[in-house]
Structure 1
Amino acid sequence: MTEVRIEPWREGDLDLLRRLNTPEVRAHTGGPETDEQVLARHERYVRFGDTGKGCMYAVLLPDGAAVGSVGYWEREWRGQQVYELGWAILPGHQGRGLATAAVRAAVAVVRDRRTLRWAHAYPSVDNAPSNAVCRKAGFTLLGETEFEYPPGHLMRSNDWRLDLAA
């Protein structure tokens, strides 16, 4: 099994976020952001862990190399509070099971919180690798849905759900 560790996002992770802001990585999430948007996202990520509503993490290899991000946050979905999970892995490290390992690590954190019953992920129906991550991480496919991401942009997504009480 592929090993990664996740560490809460910190000031020093700005370079990682910039390296994740490429057409290839962001093809299914609205495309690359401006540097101003990346800086604003970075500041949100740094502060997010202190809110109690979720956390963003850097995904690290055993040698400490940063290869991606994973996170969870609270959202309302179909009338109930759930956790949403999202992730991204640098192109040179994709296809090695790192995203699945990172999602499993984030799910373990969410389960330990014991606050909400369900976690969801909403990858684009066209994003085969992220849909495979959901399947391998134990999520159940509920079907297709329209999902707004980035804000103001509707995309066709799969709604994957994981029972955190199981």
Structure 2
Amino acid sequence: MERSQRSDLRLAPWSEEGGPALLARFNTPEMTAHLGGPETPEKLAERHLRYLRLGDKGRMFRITLDGETAGSIGYWETTWQGETVWETGWGVLPEFQGRGVAADAARLIIREARAADRHAFLHAFPATDNGASNGVCRKAGFTLRGEALIEYPKGRWHPCNDWRYALNTGDAAPRAGG
């Protein structure tokens, strides 16, 4: 279990315990507004299995704060502009929002992706109108590369920002909480 500099925030590997319940809590119109809306129970079950089976193609985690599940974050392989890179995404439950949880978890996921030692870059693609997630990228040390069109979910194109973090710079990952 990876820990941040904040002693109360941790990343716990995705597992059968708590995973489906967390996905169900995220599956609201408010929480999925920038992701195409709520999914069917079948799609949630598929997502859970996909998270469990990432293998060397990435990892998903539950974010815990003071021992309580606060959200999720992960990284996975994707092809972007002809290059295989890591992509990251996160969600923080409403009662934990506004406390820096996502930014601290993003700093930890940078360390995880760097430790996997497979790809040079970690990208995040928040919707251009998602101020909170764009703020997470900025606070976690990602560099804004500009706008792009992303297809997510399949069949739905939307404008997003392309944020990138260079993993092979030799620099230490940014401090959580900093």
TM range (shorter): over 0.9
Are 1:148 and 2:119 an aligned pair?
A: no
Report if aligned partners of 1:24, 1:91 keep a CA contact under 8 Å in 2: no
Partner AA of 1:96 in structure 2: R
- Quote the residue 1:116 is aligned against: 119
Per-residue CA shift, 1:111-166, capped at 9, x if unaligned? 11222111100000000000000000000001101011111110100000101012
More deviation in 1-10 or 35-44? 1-10
Instruction: Using the TM superposition, give the Cα deviation of residue 83 of structure 1 relative to its aligned residue in structure 2, in angstroms.
Output: 0.4
Q: 2:72 aligns with which of 56, 69, 73?
A: 69
- Whole-angstrom CA distance in 2 between matches of 1:69 and 1:160: 19
Instruction: Using the TM superposition, give the Cα deviation of residue 9 of structure 1 relative to its aligned residue in structure 2, in angstroms.
Output: 0.6
Partner AA of 1:20 in structure 2: F
- Whole-angstrom CA distance in 2 between matches of 1:43 and 1:112: 24
Q: 1:58 aligns with which of 59, 62, 68?
A: 62
Are 1:15 and 2:15 an aligned pair?
A: no
Are 1:81 and 2:87 an aligned pair?
A: no
Instruction: Using the TM superposition, give the Cα deviation of residue 46 of structure 1 relative to its aligned residue in structure 2, in angstroms.
Output: 1.7
- Whole-angstrom CA distance in 1 between matches of 2:153 and 2:42: 16
- Whole-angstrom CA distance in 1 between matches of 2:76 and 2:35: 17
Partner AA of 2:72 in structure 1: S
- Whole-angstrom CA distance in 1 between matches of 2:145 and 2:152: 19
Number of residue-to-residue matches in the alignment: 163
Alignment of 1:153-164 (within 5 A): 153-164=156-167
- Quote the residue 2:39 is aligned against: 33
Per-residue CA shift, 1:34-57, capped at 9, x if unaligned? 111111111111222xx2000111
SS of the equivalent of 2:34 reads coil
- Quote the residue 2:10 is aligned against: 5
Q: Structure 1 unaligned runs (5+)?
A: none
- Percent identity over the alignment is 48
- Whole-angstrom CA distance in 1 between matches of 2:32 and 2:25: 11
Runs of 4+ in 1 over 4 A off after TM superposition: none
Aligned-residue CA RMSD in angstroms? 1.1
Partner AA of 1:44 in structure 2: R
More deviation in 114-123 or 2-11? 2-11
